[in-house]
């Protein structure tokens, strides 16, 4: 099993943003700059997520997708506000390889089957925003972790597979943005139920957090904060890196020594006997 390292870029309007628990979004810069950097660093895939798509009921990332597809030659998944077959056509035509759906799938599960039959299962990723409840069970949420659905994650995993989803993108809202480590209890709960690729997201912060992958059939890990901080620390002299966003925060030094490069991570994985693509 070759595990993938995926860089996730949350986008609001023209900006790359990042928060904690999917909230308190802070503008960090230009998505296209970081996308190019991660590609050159050795990311296996990129994921663009329109974080205000639910608010406006549409995905507005076509322009970013077109620019990215011209210069970056690794798979690109795009999510946020995708509700119809025509939305998927539009995003794929712009240059995406896969689409990620969440709210639309929960509101109308048949959409997963329709999309998989129309575009092929490998094109359809079902995203899951999950929060642990006080009694220990994990339930699905939508709208950046704000809307409770009442759906148990294990039951949903079983259903989306039966409907033809090609991949699951699993986010622990509790851990997202904290860099304190992934929720391995959640991952174990879901991985025991899946027969399709599973991507884990939320909480990754240092090389040791990747050790859980060894010997598993989990497809890979997606991360944002840990890679963003490395980019910002590595490009502090680049005027374009700090031309937009919360520049006082970015220049304060708080990002220093908080990040990790993709190449560092992959070298560590190889040293631990964890299979990963490496140039």
Q: Give the residue extent of every domain in the chain.
A: 4-271
Long-range contacts, stretch 61-70, CB < 8 angstroms, 24+ apart:
61/11, 61/91, 61/94, 62/90, 62/91, 62/94, 64/11, 64/31, 64/32, 65/91, 65/94, 65/95, 65/96, 66/94, 66/95, 67/32, 68/32, 68/35, 68/95, 69/94, 69/95, 69/96, 70/95
- Output the pLDDT for position 251: 52
Per-residue pLDDT of the chain (279 residues; tens, 9 = 90+): 899 999 999 998 888 888 787 766 778 888 888 999 999 999 999 999 998 776 555 667 888 899 899 999 999 999 999 999 999 999 999 999 999 999 999 999 999 999 999 999 999 999 999 999 998 899 999 987 889 999 999 999 999 999 999 999 999 999 999 999 999 999 999 999 999 999 999 999 999 999 999 999 999 999 999 999 888 887 755 544 545 544 454 555 554 557 899 999 999 999 999 999 986
Statement: 4-271 belongs to CATH 2.60.120.10: no
The pTM score is: 0.92
Tell me the per-residue pLDDT of 223-269, one tens digit each, with 9 for 90 and over.
999 999 888 887 755 544 545 544 454 555 554 557 899 999 999 99
10, 41, 45, 176: the active-site residue: 10
Q: Is 183 an active-site residue?
A: no
41, 129, 176, 183: the active-site residue: 129
Q: Is 129 an active-site residue?
A: yes
Q: Which of 28, 102, 20, 9 is nearest to 251 (CA)?
A: 28
């Amino acid at each position: 099993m070759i595990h993938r390292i995926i860089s996730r870029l949350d986008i609001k309007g023209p900006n790359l943003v990042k928060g904690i628990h999917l909230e308190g979004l802070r503008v960090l810069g230009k998505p296209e700059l970081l996308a190019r950097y991660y590609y050159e660093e050795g990311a296996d895939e990129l994921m663009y997520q329109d974080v205000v798509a639910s608010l406006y009921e549409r995905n507005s990332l076509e322009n970013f997708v077109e620019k990215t597809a011209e210069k970056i030659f690794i798979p690109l998944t795009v999510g946020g506000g995708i509700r119809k077959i025509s939305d998927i056509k539009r995003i794929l035509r712009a240059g995406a390889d896969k689409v990620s759906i969440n709210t639309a799938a929960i509101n109308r599960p048949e959409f997963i089957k329709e999309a998989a039959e129309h575009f092929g299962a490998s094109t359809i990723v079902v995203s899951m925003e999950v929060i642990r409840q006080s009694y220990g069970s994990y339930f699905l949420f939508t709208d950046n972790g704000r809307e409770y659905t009442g759906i148990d994650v294990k039951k949903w995993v079983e259903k989306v597979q039966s409907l033809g989803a090609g991949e699951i993108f699993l986010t622990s809202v509790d851990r997202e943005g904290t860099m304190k480590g992934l929720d391995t209890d959640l991952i174990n709960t879901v991985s025991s139920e899946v027969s399709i690729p599973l991507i884990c997201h939320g909480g990754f912060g240092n090389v040791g957090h990747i050790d859980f992958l060894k010997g598993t059939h989990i497809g890979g890990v997606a991360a944002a904060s840990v890679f963003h901080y490395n980019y910002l620390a590595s490009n502090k002299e680049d005027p374009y890196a700090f031309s937009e966003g919360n520049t006082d925060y970015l220049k304060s030094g708080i990002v220093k020594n908080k990040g990790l490069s993709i190449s560092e991570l992959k070298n560590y994985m190889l040293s631990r006997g964890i299979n990963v693509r490496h140039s």
